[in-house]
A and B are shown apart, each in its own frame.
Chain A
């Protein structure tokens, strides 16, 4: 299994180095406009939050997979996971926040030993809408995870799972050998308890990320392909497909540079810029919390260590009024969320 950028002592494990790349070169010499310049053209600068709807909590960077495009640089060698104390701080803000949805992500959030406790406590605190971003294979990784589908069902958790392609080759190339077969098995187990079935309120959505230096195509067309292929070959049902653009940070940035696709990819993102997508980018209704309690405009800013531009920077000091009165921090990676029909953790936005 590959190692994370951090474990490999790769230059790009340093977030300042990533920001340097994103800020210089074709964006410094004027070949391409910076994201700030671009949104100024349509009077959308500075980007400001709207009503907070989703608290996205990253339970840790530990993961059982090492996907080649991962913006988190997650993997088994990452030991950063949220402690129960930080979880308690998160639970403490549930009654103070206007957010109605708790979106749990990672790494593999289920690998946090306090994952189930946290969900149970959050439910007691009044959260009804849970999202868990599951990589699927975790369900088959170890006996202790085998009953995750039942656990998800008990709390009516909305399961959003990564599945880059309906073919074994493309999936395994991006996510590791054997991932496709385990993912198929996990999807069948989720279906078996009612997830993803037509008419079921147990929501199972899939996430498609392009497996290379190109943008996602039409979300609905891809969904139709996925539905047909997974149904015909494996009798699998799911609800919606979210087509998500790979942002040029972390391991995907490393891939773009190593494959000499970086500049072309940035051109593709800028060419596909859609001002209508800016209106609904996820940083306008989501707040991201890192494993150690720091606050970010989104999961991508978290991975670039760009903390919120507010007096309140940590969950322990949470003050929604102050937080909502901030400018969102942007950089060139933001083009990834505004290309074409836009991209967010909920799929297209325009």
Chain B
């Protein structure tokens, strides 16, 4: 068994998930490919969104993949970091906005 949960080389094997369920695997990859095509959003904009989400999901495979993808598309490191901050802002905002729930509960329980 591997001594770590994550192995960077596993990213190359992502396509292998079709081996144990070809139909669903293929449907996923078709969908995935379609999502990232140029559309109302440019492929570059989608790449930056993916990078931000990769960070909020804390997926090391996705971070590697979309950092490289961004570099290939000519996205600068400043743009990438701004995208990560967008993800971080939403993530921290999502935490903090729950503070209102906490405040509501405190206000309800306290005399």
Contact = CB atoms under 8 A, between A and B. Distances in A.
Contacts of B71: 210, 212, 214
B72 A210 contact: yes
B46 interface: no
Nearest to A166: B74
B101 to A, nearest CB: 44
Interface string A221-240: 11001000000000000000
Interface string A296-330: 00000000000000000000000000000000000
Contacts of B72: 210, 214-217
A214 B68 contact: yes
Majority secondary structure of chain B interface residues (helix, strand, loop or mixed): helix
A267 B65 CA distance: 13
Contacts of A222: 73-74
Interface of B: 12, 42-44, 68, 71-74, 76
A167 interface: yes
Nearest to A267: B12
Contact of A221 (B12, B44, B68, B76): B44
B12 A218 contact: no
Interface string A186-222: 0000000000000000000000001010111110011
Given A210-B72, A214-B68, A217-B72, 20 more contacts: A165-B74, A167-B76, A210-B71, A212-B71, A214-B71, A214-B72, A215-B72, A217-B73, A218-B43, A218-B73, A221-B42, A221-B43, A221-B44, A221-B73, A221-B74, A222-B73, A222-B74, A225-B74, A267-B12, A271-B12
Report, as a range, how many residues of chain A touch the other chain: 10 to 19
A221 B42 CA distance: 10
B37 to A, nearest CB: 12
6 contacts: A170-B76, A212-B71, A217-B72, A221-B43, A221-B74, A271-B12
A163 to B, nearest CB: 12
Nearest to B64: A264
Nearest to A216: B72
Nearest to A340: B72
B68 A217 contact: no
Nearest to A165: B74
A167 B79 CA distance: 13
B64 to A, nearest CB: 9
A336 B20 CA distance: 33
Interface string A268-284: 00010000000000000
A170 B68 CA distance: 15
- The CB with the most chain A CB atoms within 10 A, among B42, B43, B68, is that of B68
Nearest to B71: A214
B41 to A, nearest CB: 13
A217 B69 CA distance: 8
Contacts of A217: 72-74
Contacts of A215: 72
A111 to B, nearest CB: 30
A167 B74 CA distance: 11
A217 B43 CA distance: 11
A167 B77 CA distance: 11
A35 to B, nearest CB: 19
A217 B36 CA distance: 14
A212 to B, nearest CB: 6
A19 B68 CA distance: 27
Contacts of B68: 214
A207 to B, nearest CB: 14
A18 to B, nearest CB: 24
A243 to B, nearest CB: 10
Nearest to A229: B74
A212 B70 CA distance: 12
A216 B74 CA distance: 8
Interface string A128-139: 000000000000
Contacts of B74: 165, 217, 221-222, 225
Contacts of A167: 76
A217 B44 CA distance: 10
Nearest to B47: A217
B34 to A, nearest CB: 17
Contacts of A271: 12
Contacts of A212: 71
Closest CB pairs A-B (n = 10): A217-B72, A217-B73, A214-B71, A214-B72, A222-B74, A214-B68, A225-B74, A215-B72, A217-B74, A267-B12
